[in-house]
Amino acid sequence: MTQTARITVHPSFVVGEIDRRLFGSFVEHLGRAVYTGVFEPGHPAADADGFRRDVIDLTRELGTSVVRYPGGNFVSNYFWEDGVGPVDERPTRIDLAWRTIEPNTFGTDEFMRWARTAGVEPMLAVNLGTRGADAAANLVEYCNIPGGTTWSDRRRANGAEEPYGVKLWCLGNEMDGPWQIGHKTAEEYGRLASQAAQAMRRVDPTIEFVVCGSSGREIATFGEWERVVLEHTFDDVDYISVHAYYQERDGDRASFLGSAASFEAFLREVIATADAVAGRRRSDKRIRLSVDEWNVWYVDEFAGEENLDLREQPRLIEDVYSALDAVVAGDLLATLVRNADRVAVACVAQLVNVIAPMLTEPGGEAWKQTTFHPIALTAAHARGVALDARIEGPRLATAKHGDVSGVSGTVTWDAGSGSLVALLVNRTAEPVEARVEHLGFADVALAEASVIVGDDNVRGASSTDAAADLAARGAAAAPQPLDGVTTDGEVSTVVLPAESWSLVRFTARVA
């Protein structure tokens, strides 16, 4: 039996402008994200810098706007000076975060060249685990000062005559997590983050800062951590980080499909805490969110850092995704777009090989995973502003999140191109006929409609399986045409298959 839903939109009901930095990603020195991921000298597709051009091509197709580097947990015991200058003079270190041998053949200089080649904005994180304000300020000097100082002249001597101009900086990573090297209390971290931000901004007054929020909604420090840290850093920072991962546990398909409802509650709880700090200070400043780690991650399958063998470039956390994972990932990204008024930056973690939308084989091919498709389509078409789409329809009972909306999504409007886009997810096990009432729009016509159906939930494939098999699996979940979409110019009808993610694009004008 087909269920029904009603979706109402109007061009005057605007949530906020969609920041292109919502479509970011993340490259950490973890597993094969860097080595044999973005960087593999000698590979048939490598350029003169050793960058895999096949990965760069996929990065562009994914719509990636900003990339966070070099961590992640890795950054909390990283000496950035190890990754600049002549490669043959760089030290080989033990990375304590992931217990790997780090050769430092790829560092800040290589990343900045890669970012320029890939056409993405760099987002750099500084070590506030084992280091402090002085090392962080020196890195800003190295990256952003034209010349005439010790570190800027060192950059020029290393081959980068012009400054890198990095604007977006993360003040450490997950500093409340007991797994983090140099983890701290909220008071300790808040004071250090404030000191670091002030020192770094003395070097370059134009830069922006992301302060660490809690490592997750379930961690004991959540909420109080945000409050205390922002009490220390409110005047110094622009964004607070949110990290969120979801997985299907114990065959609980409904709760997995409802993950984005929990995600949205998480976002709004952080926003409420930030605004409470602003209210106590009688400030009209609004801290925005940097959701700089989000994804589907089967973390229960990870052995844990303490159980890893010390080696170089291991295959770590190379989850192979199903079509259902793609539906949930698309729902998570639609949730970020729906909260565009307060979410400014978001990074799917990570870009390649490590819980990523693409995989590579050393010396071999690069290919798309199932999750690549909803991310790429959303980045391509969700432009302009997010509208306050009101959705009424069936409910979904879940064991983990309670009763949640059976249909979720968002609608975006780009007045410049006349593109009205509905991103819709049917979380239920039955088809839903969605009636989209586009009030205030005229000349509405269907341009395209695509769907991903989560009917392949077979997991368990290994990233060491044949590359051709894994590539075929990703291709099998590529979006298909969504049939049966009708419109009379005032109301459109879209039949959403069970457990599916859909993108429906109309052309329109404001009436």
Of 157, 215, 155, 225, give the one whose Cα is nearest residue 189: 225
Handedness of CA 234, 235, 239, 241 (dihedral sign): negative
Exactly one of 293, 318, 361, 499 is catalytic; name it: 293
Contacts of 333 (CB under 8 A, 6+ apart): 22, 346, 348, 374, 375, 378
Q: Are 279 and 231 in contact (CB under 8 A)?
A: no
Q: Dihedral, CA atoms, 148, 71, 174, 202, nearest 10 degrees?
A: 10
Q: Are 51 and 67 in contact (CB under 8 A)?
A: no
Q: Which two tokens stand for residue 499?
A: 């457990």
Q: Rounded to 5 degrees, what are φ and ψ at 443?
A: 55, 40
Per residue, the 3-state secondary structure of 136-198, as one string, reads HHHHHHHHHCCCCCHHHHHHHHCCCCCCCCCCEEEECCCCCCCCCCCCCCHHHHHHHHHHHHH
Rounded to whole angstroms, the Cα distance separating 68 from 349 reads 9
Beta-bridge mates of residue 426: 407, 500
Rounded to whole angstroms, the Cα distance separating 339 from 361 reads 36
Indicate the DSSP class of residue 92: P
Q: Are 261 and 210 in contact (CB under 8 A)?
A: no
- Among this protein's residues, is 174 annotated catalytic? yes
CB atoms within 10 A of CB 483: 8
Q: Rounded to 5 degrees, what are φ and ψ at 101?
A: -85, 120
231-260 core/surface letters (b: 16 or more CB in 10 A; e: else): ebbbebbbbbbbbbbbbbeeeebbbbbbbb
Indicate the DSSP class of residue 339: T
Of 83, 126, 124, give the one whose Cα is nearest residue 105: 83
Alpha-carbon Rg for the chain, nearest whole angstrom, is 23
Maximum distance among all Cα pairs of the chain, rounded to whole angstroms: 72
55: number of CA atoms within 13 Å, CB side? 33
Exactly one of 174, 226, 318, 361 is catalytic; name it: 174
Indicate the pairing of strand 407-414 with strand 432-438. Answer: unpaired
- Among this protein's residues, is 293 annotated catalytic? yes
Peptide bond into 497 cis (omega under 30): no
Rounded to whole angstroms, the Cα distance separating 1 from 495 reads 12
**Residues annotated as part of the active site:** 174, 293
